C-alpha cells in the first residue's frame, strides 16, 4: 500500500527544496515565486511506499490563479493521505493563514517549519510544542536547504501514514463561528454525498464560492436558510461575510503567534534585503539600474563570450561534418544521400547547434538573477508600466528573454498565474527581436543602410516593441478583455544563489535546446533540402530555381507585391525562415548563387530598393516565429488551433506594419 503526501505551502517557502531533500531528485529551485507550475511526484528516499507531490505555491484556498486551482483540485478530488504543510518560519503569520484553512480539510497533516536556520541565526525563537498544541498538528522544525530535520520529518510522516488521524481543533469563535456551525449542520447530507469536508464547505459557502455551492447541489430551501444565517451574522458582527472570515483567521493567528513566537528582530536576511531594495527598487534609479545590468549581461553573453564560442563550435561542427562526408565519399555512398546529409541535415542542425553556447551562457546569468531574488523586483518595478497596456509585471521576464530566443521565452510564461495573462504574453513575446534575426538585419542593413547602421538597427528593435504594445492594446480591447491578475507576487529575501541550482537550470535548458535541434530542426532541414533539390518529377535539379521550393515561392510571391518586393527568391527565403530565422540569409545566398556577403549585397540591390528593403526587414522582425517557437507555443497553449491563430495574428501584423513602413519610406527615402 502506498501513501500519497501533498506538499503544500506559500510560494517561496522552500517546497521544491524540501521535495528534493525528501526524494533526492533535482528539481529546479528558484528564488522566484511561481517556479513550480505543474505538479511533480517523487518517492521518499529509502521509503518507497511514500510518494510526495510537489504542488504550486498558494496563499489560500480561494482559487484566484491557475496555481491555486491546481493545488485545491488535487486536495479535494485526489484526497492525498497526508498533507505536508511547509511553513516559512521567518514569515510565520502570513504562512499560517493557509495552515488555518488546511486544517479545515480534515486530512491528516504535518507541518514542516522551514528556514529555522534563519530564525535561529537572528536570535528569534518559536515554541514548537506550544504551537503544536494550539494547532493540533504535529510540527517538525527543519532547514530544507541544509538538510536539517529531514530524518525527523520522514519518521513523523511514516508514523502518521501508519496511524492516520486528525485531531479536531476549533479555531474559530464569535458570530462567524456560529454561522459556520449552523451552515455545517444544514448541509450535512450534501457533504456526505460528495465526500467533501464539512467545515471547509461551510466556510466556502460563506465566501460565496460558486464551484463548491454547485458541487453540493443545495436546494432552494437550504439556499434560503443560508442566506438568512449569513445576513444575520453580518448584522451582528457589523462586517460583511468575507471580511468576517479573514478577520477571524487573522485574529486567531495573532493570538497564537503572541504566545508561541519570540521575535526580537527581523532576520538578518530581511534587514539586508531591505537595504539592497532601497537602491535596486528605487523610484527613479530602479529601471536605469536594471537596463545597465541587462546591457552588461547581453554584452557578455553575445559579444564577449558568445561570439567566439559560437565560432569555435561552428569550426568544430564543420570539422566533424567534413570528416563524415569524406568517409562516406570514400565508401562511394550515393550522391543524393551525401547531399541530404551535407546540405540538409548537417547544415541545418549545426547552424542551430552553434547557438548552444549563447543559450547556456544567457541562462546562466538569468538563473543568477532569478535565484538571487532580483528578477522578482524587476517584475515588481515594471508592473506599473505593463499594467497600462493590459499585461502584468510577470510578463516582463518572458519578454526580456525573448530578445535572446523566443523558445525559452515562451516556456518562461509558466510563471504567469492567469491563463489570460499567459496567452497574451505568448502571443506578444515573439515580437521582441530574437538573436537569430540578427544575421538578417546585418545582411539588409549592410546592403542598404550601411551609412546609418546603428540608427537602422535601433529602429528595427523599436518597431518590434512598438508593435507589441499596439497588439497588446488591440488584444485587450477584443479577445482578452478584463484586467491582468492583481500583482500579488511577494518579494523574496535576497539570497546567494547556490551553484547547484544554477547548474541544474543551465543543464535543463541545454537539454531542451539540443533535443529541439535533433528533432524539429532535423526534420525541417531535411524537408527544405528536399524541396530545394528536387522538381515535381522528383528528379534532382542542379539549379534550385527549377525546384519545388522555387515553384512554391513563385506561387506566393504576389502576396508581397504591395510591400514592394515580389521576387520568388525573397518569398522563398521567408518560408525557409520559418524553420529557423537564420535560414532567410542562407536561403537567399543559395538562391542568388552568391557565396560572399559582398556578392550577396550586390544581388540584393537588384531585388530590392531601400524602401522595399526596409519593408522586408520589418516583415522579418514581426512575422510568425520559427518552427521551434511555434512548437513551444503549441505546447504551452496546449492547443494546435490557438498556436495557428497566434502565428496568423503575428504574420498579419507583420504584413500590415511592413506595408505602412513601405509607404512611409517611399515618401521619405
Ligand atoms: P518554493 O517556491 O516553495 O518551491 O521554494 P524553493 O524551494 O524554490 O525555495 C525558495 C528559496 O528559499 C530558495 O532560494 C532556497 O534556496 C531558499 N530556501 C529553501 N529552504 C531554505 C532553508 O531552510 N533555509 C534557508 N536559509 N533558505 C532556504
Ligand atoms: Mg517550487
DSSP 177-231: HHHHHHHHHHTHHHHHHHT--HHHHHHHHHTT-HHHHHHHT--HHHHHHHHHHHH
What would the mean pLDDT of 99-110 be, rounded to a whole number?
91
For residues 181 and 37, which has the higher predicted lDDT (pLDDT)?
181
Q: Kindly report the pTM of this predicted structure.
A: 0.63
Give the relative orientation of helices 241-260 and 220-237 as an angle to the nearest 10 degrees: 60
pLDDT band at 87 (very low <50, low <70, confident <90, very high): very high
Confidence at residue 471, expressed as pLDDT on a 0 to 100 scale: 94
Question: What are 456's three cell numbers?
Answer: 537602422
- Report the C-alpha gap between 40 and 167 in whole angstroms: 29
Q: Counting Cβ atoms within 10 Å, is residue 618 exposed (0-12), middle (13-18) or buried (19+)?
A: buried
Beta bridge partners of 84: 7, 110
Cα separation, 648 vs 639, whole angstroms: 14
Rounded distance from Cα 246 to ligand 1 centre (Å): 27
pLDDT (0 to 100) of residue 143: 94
Indicate whether residue 14 lines ligand 1 (CB < 6 A).
Answer: yes
Counting ligand 1 atoms within 8 A of each CB, the residue from 15, 17, 53 with the most, and so the one to mutate, is 17
Distance 383 CA to ligand 2 centre (A): 22
Cα 144 to middle of ligand 1, angstroms: 7
Residues 465, 467: Cα–Cα separation, whole Å = 6
For residues 290 and 156, the model is more confident at 156
* CA 357 to ligand 1 centroid distance, Å: 29
CA–centroid distance, 36 to ligand 2, in Å, is 4
Sequence-distant contacts of 72-81: CB under 8 A, at least 24 apart: 74/6, 74/39, 75/6, 75/8, 75/105, 75/107, 76/105, 76/196, 78/4, 79/107, 79/195, 80/4, 80/5, 80/6, 80/53, 80/107, 81/3, 81/4, 81/5, 81/107, 81/108, 81/161, 81/164
The predicted model gives 106-126 an average pLDDT of 90
What does DSSP assign to residue 27? P
Report the atom number in ligand 1 closest to the C-alpha of 18. Answer: 7
Give ion ligand 2 contacts, CB < 5 A: 15-16, 35-36
d(CA 421, CA 426): 9
For residue 486, what pLDDT is reported? 59
Interval 17-41 mean pLDDT: 67
Q: Taking residues 646-669, report their average pLDDT.
A: 94
Instruction: Please state, for a pLDDT cut of 90, what percent of the chain lies above it.
Output: 25
Pocket test for ligand 1, best of 14, 23, 39, 502 (most atoms within 8 A of CB): 14
Q: Is 505 in the pocket of ligand 1 (CB under 6 A)?
A: no
The neighbouring-strand residues paired with 112 are: 86, 140
pLDDT at residue number 666: 92
Distance, CA of 262 to CA of 259 (rounded, Å): 8
**How far apart are the C-alpha atoms of 443 and 88, rounded to whole Å?**
54
Q: Which residues pair with 40 in a beta bridge?
A: 54
The pLDDT assigned to 346 comes to: 76
Which neighbouring-strand residues pair with 85? 8, 111
- CB of 118 closer than 6 angstroms to any ligand 1 atom: yes
Where does the pLDDT of residue 561 fall: very low under 50, low under 70, confident under 90, or very high at 90 and above?
very high
Pocket lining: 40 vs ligand 1, CB cutoff 6 Å: no
**What local confidence, expressed as pLDDT, does residue 489 receive?**
56
- Mean pLDDT of all residues belonging to the chain: 84
| Span 222-246, average pLDDT | 85
| Nine cell digits for residue 554 | 513563385
Range scoring the smallest mean pLDDT among 190-199, 431-440, 593-602, 650-659: 593-602
pLDDT beyond 70 at 35: no
Mean pLDDT score, 33-37 = 45
Beta bridge partners of 83: 6, 109
Of 157-161, 258-262, 524-528, give the lowest mean pLDDT range.
524-528
User: Hey, what long-range contacts does 254-259 have (CB within 8 A, 24 or more apart)?
Assistant: 254/93, 256/96, 256/131, 256/134, 256/135, 257/92, 257/93, 257/96, 259/127, 259/130, 259/134
> Residue 528 pLDDT more than 70?
yes
Q: What is the pLDDT of residues 298-351, one digit of tens each?
A: 778 766 887 788 788 878 988 998 899 899 999 988 888 888 887 777 766 766
Res 38 pLDDT > 80: no
pLDDT at 640: 93
The rounded Å distance from CA 34 to ligand 1 centre is: 12
- How much is the pLDDT for 33? 46
17 Cα to the center of ligand 1, angstroms? 6
Reported as a single tens digit per residue, the pLDDT across 149-188 is 999 999 999 999 888 777 777 666 778 888 898 999 999 8
Q: Whose CA is nearest to atom 11 of ligand 1?
A: 31
Please give the average per-residue pLDDT across 474-480, as a whole number.
88
Q: Comparing C-alpha atoms, which of 342, 349, 282 is closest to residue 533?
A: 342
Instruction: Place 142 in a pLDDT band, splitting at 50, 70 and 90.
Output: very high
Confidence band (pLDDT; 50, 70, 90) for 446?
confident
Per-residue pLDDT, 37: 47
Closest Cα to atom 21 of ligand 1: 145
Atom 14 of ligand 1, nearest CA residue: 31
Per-residue pLDDT band for 485 (boundaries 50, 70, 90) equals low
| Residue 215 or residue 519, greater confidence | 215
Beta-bridge mates of residue 54: 7, 40
Closest atom, ligand 1, to C-alpha of 501? 16
Is 12 a pocket residue for ligand 1 (Cβ < 6 Å)?
yes
Q: Is residue 26 scored above 50 in pLDDT?
A: yes
Question: What is the distance in A from the centroid of ligand 1 to the CA of 30?
Answer: 8
Q: What are 638-643's contacts with CB under 8 Å, separation 24+?
A: 642/423
40-64 mean pLDDT: 82
Amino acid at each position: 500500500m502506498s501513501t500519497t503526501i501533498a506538499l503544500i505551502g506559500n510560494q517561496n517557502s522552500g517546497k521544491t527544496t524540501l521535495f528534493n531533500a525528501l526524494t533526492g531528485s533535482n528539481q529546479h529551485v528558484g528564488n522566484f515565486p511561481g517556479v513550480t507550475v505543474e505538479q511533480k511526484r517523487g518517492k521518499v528516499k529509502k521509503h518507497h511506499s511514500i510518494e510526495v507531490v510537489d504542488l504550486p505555491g498558494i496563499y489560500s484556498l480561494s482559487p484566484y490563479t491557475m496555481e491555486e486551482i491546481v493545488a485545491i483540485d488535487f486536495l479535494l478530488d485526489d484526497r492525498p493521505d497526508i498533507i505536508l504543510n511547509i511553513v516559512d518560519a521567518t514569515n510565520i503569520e502570513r504562512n499560517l493563514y493557509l495552515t488555518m484553512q488546511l486544517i479545515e480539510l480534515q486530512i491528516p497533516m504535518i507541518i514542516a517549519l522551514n528556514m529555522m536556520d534563519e530564525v535561529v541565526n537572528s536570535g528569534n525563537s518559536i515554541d514548537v510544542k506550544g504551537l503544536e498544541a494550539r494547532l493540533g498538528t504535529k510540527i517538525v522544525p527543519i532547514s530544507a536547504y541544509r538538510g536539517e530535520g529531514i530524518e525527523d520529518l520522514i519518521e513523523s510522516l511514516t508514523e502518521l501514514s501508519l496511524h492516520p488521524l486528525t485531531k479536531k481543533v476549533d479555531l474559530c469563535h464569535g458570530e462567524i463561528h456560529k454561522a459556520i456551525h449552523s451552515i455545517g449542520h444544514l448541509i450535512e447530507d450534501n457533504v456526505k454525498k460528495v465526500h467533501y469536508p464539512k467545515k471547509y464547505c461551510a466556510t466556502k459557502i460563506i465566501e460565496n464560492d460558486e464551484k463548491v455551492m454547485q458541487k453540493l447541489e443545495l436546494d432552494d430551501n437550504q439556499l434560503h436558510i443560508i442566506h438568512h444565517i449569513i445576513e444575520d451574522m453580518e448584522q451582528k458582527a457589523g462586517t460583511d461575510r468575507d471580511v468576517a472570515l479573514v478577520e477571524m483567521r487573522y485574529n486567531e493567528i495573532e493570538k497564537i503567534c503572541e504566545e508561541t513566537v519570540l521575535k526580537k528582530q527581523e532576520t538578518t536576511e530581511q534587514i539586508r534585503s531591505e537595504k539592497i531594495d532601497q537602491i535596486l527598487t528605487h523610484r527613479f534609479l530602479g529601471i536605469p539600474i536594471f537596463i545597465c545590468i541587462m546591457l552588461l549581461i547581453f554584452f557578455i553573453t553575445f559579444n564577449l563570450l558568445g561570439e567566439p564560442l559560437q565560432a569555435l563550435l561552428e569550426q568544430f561542427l564543420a570539422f566533424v561534418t567534413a570528416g563524415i562526408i569524406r568517409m562516406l565519399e570514400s565508401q562511394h555512398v550515393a550522391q543524393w544521400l551525401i547531399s541530404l546529409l551535407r546540405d540538409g541535415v548537417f547544415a541545418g542542425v549545426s547552424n542551430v547547434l552553434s547557438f548552444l553556447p549563447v543559450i547556456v551562457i544567457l541562462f546562466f546569468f538569468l538563473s543568477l538573477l532569478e535565484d538571487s531574488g532580483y528578477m522578482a523586483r524587476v517584475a515588481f518595478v515594471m508592473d506599473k508600466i505593463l499594467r497600462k497596456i493590459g499585461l502584468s509585471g510577470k510578463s516582463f521576464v518572458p519578454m526580456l528573454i525573448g530578445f535572446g530566443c523566443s523558445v525559452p521565452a515562451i516556456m518562461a510564461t509558466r510563471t504567469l498565474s492567469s491563463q489570460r495573462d499567459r496567452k497574451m504574453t505568448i502571443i506578444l513575446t515573439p515580437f521582441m527581436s530574437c538573436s537569430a534575426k540578427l544575421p538578417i538585419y546585418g545582411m539588409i542593413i549592410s546592403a542598404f543602410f550601411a551609412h546609418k547602421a546603428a540608427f537602422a538597427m535601433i529602429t528595427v528593435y523599436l518597431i518590434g516593441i512598438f508593435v507589441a504594445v499596439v497588439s497588446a492594446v488591440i488584444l485587450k480591447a477584443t479577445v482578452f478583455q478584463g484586467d491582468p491578475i492583481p500583482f500579488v507576487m511577494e518579494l523574496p529575501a535576497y539570497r546567494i544563489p547556490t551553484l547547484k541550482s544554477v547548474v541544474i537550470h543551465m543543464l535543463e535548458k541545454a537539454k531542451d535546446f539540443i533535443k529541439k535541434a535533433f528533432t524539429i530542426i532535423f526534420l525541417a532541414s531535411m524537408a527544405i533540402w528536399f524541396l530545394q533539390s528536387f522538381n515535381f518529377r522528383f528528379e534532382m535539379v542542379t539549379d534550385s530555381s527549377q525546384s519545388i521550393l522555387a515553384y512554391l515561392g513563385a506561387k506566393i510571391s504576389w502576396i508581397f507585391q504591395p510591400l514592394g518586393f515580389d521576387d520568388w527568391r525573397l518569398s522563398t527565403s521567408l518560408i525557409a525562415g520559418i524553420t529557423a530565422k537564420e535560414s532567410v540569409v542562407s536561403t537567399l545566398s543559395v538562391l542568388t548563387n552568391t557565396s560572399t556577403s559582398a556578392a550577396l549585397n550586390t544581388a540584393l540591390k537588384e531585388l530590392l530598393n531601400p524602401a522595399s528593403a526596409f519593408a522586408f526587414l520589418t516583415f522579418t522582425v514581426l512575422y510568425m516565429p520559427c518552427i521551434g517557437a511555434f512548437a513551444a507555443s503549441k505546447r504551452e497553449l496546449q492547443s494546435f488551433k490557438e498556436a495557428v491563430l497566434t502565428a496568423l495574428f503575428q504574420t498579419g501584423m507583420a504584413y500590415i506594419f511592413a506595408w505602412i513602413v513601405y509607404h512611409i519610406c517611399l515618401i521619405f527615402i
